[in-house]
Chains A and B, each alone.
Chain A
Amino acid sequence: MDRLNNKSVKITSQIVYDTPKQLDIKVKNMIEIRIHGRGGQGNVAAAELLSIAAFKDGKFSQAFPSFGAERVGAPVMAFVRINDKKIRTREDVQNPDYLIVQDSNLIGSVPVLDGLKPDGLILINSEKKPEELQLKTTAKVETIPATEIALEIIGRPIPNAIMIGAFCTITGLVSIDAVQEAIMGKFPGRVGENNVAALERAREIMQKR
């Protein structure tokens, strides 16, 4: 205060209470991904694996979870950024280019579509066809029955490897080989092998479309 207005400058208010909201400022060439799921579906692991794979592909990458709801079943978010240069921004992803939704029931209960770019892409874990979901978005919608595949191949309803496999096949943003390497690095042995098999299945399914 003492240093603030020595002479002529007038302070208009003591404390201001509101900040207007606008669309996010995008860093050039930055690719932003938001993952929605429920606690226990491997959302943070999915973000981590994507970022490690992008790193292995020679890109800069950042992954971080949205924290707090570390309970099984609670809605969870995780974020991934990929760019050709060092990533400095730390804010939550506001306007994602890509959405990965690991539980389709989240749509309607949490604002999953919030901020998704009009020309973006949303990949949903669902047995339904994209048009059956009737999403109010101009973004491209893709679906894959990831829980079903996970139960069949991994034996547990953890869809993340399938979702990542489908995502990388559709977008080509991160190489499947790098994701496989990342999975085996994080889960050596049987768990990793099962997840890699699930990833492969997702690739086959998406390539046929």
Chain B
Amino acid sequence: MLKQIEGSYAVAETVAKCRPNVISAYPITPQTHIVEELASIVGRGDLDAEYVNVESEFSAASVVLGASAAGARAYSATTSQGLLLMSEVIYCIAGMRLPIVFTIANRAISAPLSIWNDQQDSMALRDAGWIQLHAEDNQEAADLHIQAFKIAEETHLPVMVCMDGFILTHAFEPVDVPDQKEVDSFLPPFRPTNIVDPRWPRGIGLFADPRFYMETRFILHRAMEKSEATIKKVSGDFAKAFGRDSGGFIKTYKLKDADVVVISMGSLVGTIKDLIDQLEEEGKKVGLLQICSYRPFPRKEIYNTLKDKMNIVVVEKSISLGRGGILASDVRWSFPRAEKKDRNISSFIAGLGGRNITKNDLRYMVEKVEKEPVELEFLGLKKELISEKDL
């Protein structure tokens, strides 16, 4: 049903319709209304699930790990410091090939303490062996959860559905929250294949000496790469079943004749699209390539889509300190060195710690890269706050 609803509630209602058996979360800041609402849904008896309130995010991740290993469809949501506290378990979940789904309400990382939005939290765990899907708006955030359970259970890989904290989680906008019947016909009940059971005692993810460990990493890496096909198939099936295009691998906007291509992911792409329309009216051809699946990274798709584009700019809400833009590095790596084309790939960091990103900031960025490539620039940085010695 289409309704005007807060992003967190839309996600909570949708997750409930995916019928998770176990939900565990640590209910304090940094959290969202998602787990709060799911607790109410379970409390009202509208969802037959075990809701486990725990004393830390580390425990929350451990509970869903154990539940999934025992054959349950398991879910949690977290963000920022909470995700970092989970990080040890996050790697274990992937290594054990447990099909758990998490919502990540993307937020900045301490110190200094910031509760506001950027994407440094999920970026910090990009190499853990989790699929990471990024939502553009709240409709996509809700829809991606339905797809995420299916992708996770078909690939035996955990999935993070990333949505920008506050900007999406706390925004009211129209979302069509699917009916239970629709979700049931798309997402069959979880049939675990590899579970721990006292009737058949064994362990998973226990120990691998140097004779075996490397192969587990190879297999996990290949599984991540191969999940591309599943992600594409599931998003295609979803579009057919629900009549709307949510998620997938990459998406493009007005790319065909574009002289400048902007690459980004998450809620920022909406603002970029509005800017592109404005620039089009002014006679400028700018296009967008939106990263929907950040892990696995759509390297081939990017190359195939942009191989004739010579002016590309990546704008992202995260940074590898001492290296620069993380997404920009991934994009630069997508074009083979042997290609020897005079292609410019500029890198902009924006919106860290919730700094507002305006269409004007983005227009400045586009106009700048029209003139010259930019190795690295911080959009909207306040020079007056930085002393000479820190420059």
- Give me the interface of B with A, judged by CB distance under 8 Å: 3-4, 6, 115-116, 137, 164, 166-167, 170-174, 267-268, 270-271, 273-275, 277-278, 332-333, 335, 337, 340-346, 354, 356-361, 363-364, 372-381, 383, 386, 391
> Pick the contact of A25 from B170, B359, B378 — CB < 8 Å?
B359
A11:B378 contact, CB within 8 angstroms: no
Binding site for B on A (CB under 8 A): 1-12, 14-25, 27, 47-48, 51-52, 54-56, 60-65, 67-68, 87-92, 94
Chain B residues near A60: list those with CB within 8 A.
173-174
Q: What is the interface of chain A mostly: helix, strand, loop, or mixed?
A: loop
What are 29 A-B pairs with beta-carbon distances under 8 A?
A: A3-B343, A4-B373, A5-B373, A6-B341, A8-B342, A15-B377, A19-B361, A19-B380, A22-B360, A24-B358, A24-B360, A25-B278, A47-B172, A51-B172, A52-B172, A55-B3, A55-B4, A55-B174, A61-B4, A61-B174, A62-B172, A62-B173, A64-B172, A65-B166, A67-B170, A67-B354, A88-B274, A89-B274, A92-B358
Q: Given A64-B166, A67-B170, are A19 and B364 neighbors across the interface (CB < 8 Å)?
A: yes
Point out the residues of chain A lying under 8 angstroms from B357, CB to CB. 90-91
Say whether B360 contacts A18, CB under 8 Å. Answer: no
- How many contacts A-B (CB < 8 Å)? 138
In the complex, the answer to whether A91 meets B372 with C-beta atoms within 8 Å is: no
**Which of B167, B277, B335, B337 is the one whose CB lies under 8 Å from A90?**
B167
Bound-state CA distance A52–B172 (Å) is 8
Whether A5 pairs with B344 at a CB distance below 8 angstroms is yes
Contact yes or no, B383 A67, CB < 8 A: no
CB distance from A47 to the nearest CB of B (A): 8
- CB nearest to B332 among chain A residues: A3
CB-defined contacts of B372 to chain A, threshold 8 Å: 9-12
List the 6 shortest-distance A-B pairs measured between CB atoms, nearest first: A88-B270, A55-B4, A3-B332, A64-B171, A25-B359, A63-B172
Interface of B is mostly: mixed
Give the CA-CA distance A17 to B379 in the complex, in Å. 8
- Chain A residues lying within 8 Å of B164, measured Cβ to Cβ, are 90
Bound CA span A63–B5, Å: 10
The answer to whether B342 and A2 touch across the interface, beta carbons within 8 angstroms, is: no
CB <8 Å contact, B379 and A48: no
Which residues on A sit within 8 Å (CB–CB) of B376?
A: 14-15
The residue on A at minimum CB distance from B336 is A3
B312 to chain A, nearest CB (A): 9
Chain B residues positioned under 8 Å from A4 (CB to CB): 332, 344-346, 373, 375
**Taking the nearest CB of chain A, how far is it from the CB of B13, in angstroms?**
15
* Inter-subunit contact B271/A90 (CB<8 Å): yes
B273: chain A residues at CB < 8 Å are 88
Select which of A17, A25, A56 is within 8 A of B381 by beta carbon. A17
- By the criterion CB–CB under 8 Å, are A89 and B270 in contact? yes
User: What's the least CB distance linking A2 to chain B, in Å?
Assistant: 7
Query: Could you tell me the distance between the alpha carbons of A11 and B357 in the complex, rounded to whole angstroms?
Result: 25
Set of chain B residues within 8 Å of A52, measured between Cβ atoms: 4, 172
Query: Is the CB–CB distance between B173 and A90 below 8 Å?
Result: no
* Known contacts A19-B380, A19-B381, A51-B4; is-contact A91 B359 (Cβ 8 Å): yes
Please, which residue of chain B has its CB at the minimum distance from the CB of A14?
B375
Query: Cβ of B3: which chain A residues have Cβ within 8 Å of it?
Result: 55
Complex CA distance for A54 and B3, rounded to whole angstroms: 11
Residue of A nearest to B275 (CB): A25
A12 CA to B374 CA in the complex, in Å? 8
CB–CB A67/B341 < 8 A: no
- C-alpha gap A7/B310 in the complex (Å): 13
- What A residues does B345 contact at CB under 8 A? 3-4
* Chain A residues, Cβ within 8 Å of B374: 11, 16
CA distance A22 to B267 in the complex (A): 23
Q: Is the CB–CB distance between B343 and A6 below 8 Å?
A: yes
A166 to B79, CA, bound (A): 39
Chain B residues with Cβ below 8 Å from A12 are: 372
Q: How far is the CB of B106 from chain A (nearest CB, A)?
A: 13
